[in-house]
Amino acid sequence: MTVDQRIIVPLDVSSASAALDLVDAIPEVSFWKVGLELFVSSGPGLIQELKARQKRIFLDLKFHDIPNTMAGACAAAGRYGVDLLTIHAAAGQEAMEVAQQAAIASAEAVGLEPPLVLAVTLLTSIDPQTLAVELKVPLDSNSYVLQMALLARDSGLRGVVCSPQEASQLRRFLPADFILVCPGVRPTWADSQDQRRTMTPVQALNAGATCLVIGRPITAAPDPAAAFARICEECSTAIAP
């Protein structure tokens, strides 16, 4: 992938019209993320609009439920023709296995390329203190993320969502072609806002990230297209995994 193809820009808006305005304002962006708020407000029709514009789609709904329910949800999502789809690793091995199987089967049944199902290891808004004190998890965040990533691998998944801070550690334990999608990426000239575990784009790629999710530094910039181009230029100096 070229550098620009490795940057996923979130459509963190509340309506389809606002989302498409943003997509059309930055035609250089080829990979867009549709999250919970936008999908709930706009539905699968937005996915078709993005596909009509020949965009790649990261459907980030983070399914987390009993195995049967996750399988049904992933089967429905598999028919949308998206490229990436997220589930929570904390749902467990059985849930991840049946979710991926359902997504693949439903996509193939309608002649589509199946989405790559990614397991979310730990939300980037959760810092070590929150993990230990509020959630009572008896592991530090690095150990917990590694455990979730290994569980995803053992479930047959081919990638995870993780903080860029954990990418280098995961690269030591996972196959070379295992996909690491990293949110919590901020250029030095941008505010980290509600992300707790962050890195710059160059640092994240050098740590082993496959794709970077970068939102407000681009979408909230005075000139989003210029901000995207600046990030791509910075990333061109990174070492590709």
Catalytic positions, please?
Answer: 60, 62, 65
Binding site annotation covers 39?
Answer: no
Binding site annotation covers 186?
Answer: yes
Binding site annotation covers 24?
Answer: no
Where do the H-state alpha helices sit in 60-195?
Answer: 67-78, 93-109, 128-129, 141-154, 164-173
Binding site annotation covers 88?
Answer: no
Give kind and range of the element (H or E) at residue 207.
helix 201-207
Binding site annotation covers 210?
Answer: no
Binding site annotation covers 127?
Answer: no
In this structure, is the dihedral angle defined by the CA atoms of residues 90, 127, 240 and 57, taken in order, positive or negative?
positive
> What's 5's DSSP letter?
G
Closest of 135, 133, 123, 45 to residue 81, by C-alpha: 45
Closest of 88, 60, 101, 212 to residue 145, by C-alpha: 88
Binding site annotation covers 124?
Answer: yes
Binding site annotation covers 65?
Answer: yes
In this structure, is the dihedral angle defined by the CA atoms of residues 172, 176, 179 and 182, taken in order, positive or negative?
positive
Residue ranges at the known binding site: 12, 33, 60-69, 124, 186, 195, 215-216
Residue ranges at the known binding site for substrate: 12, 33, 60-69, 124, 186, 195, 215-216
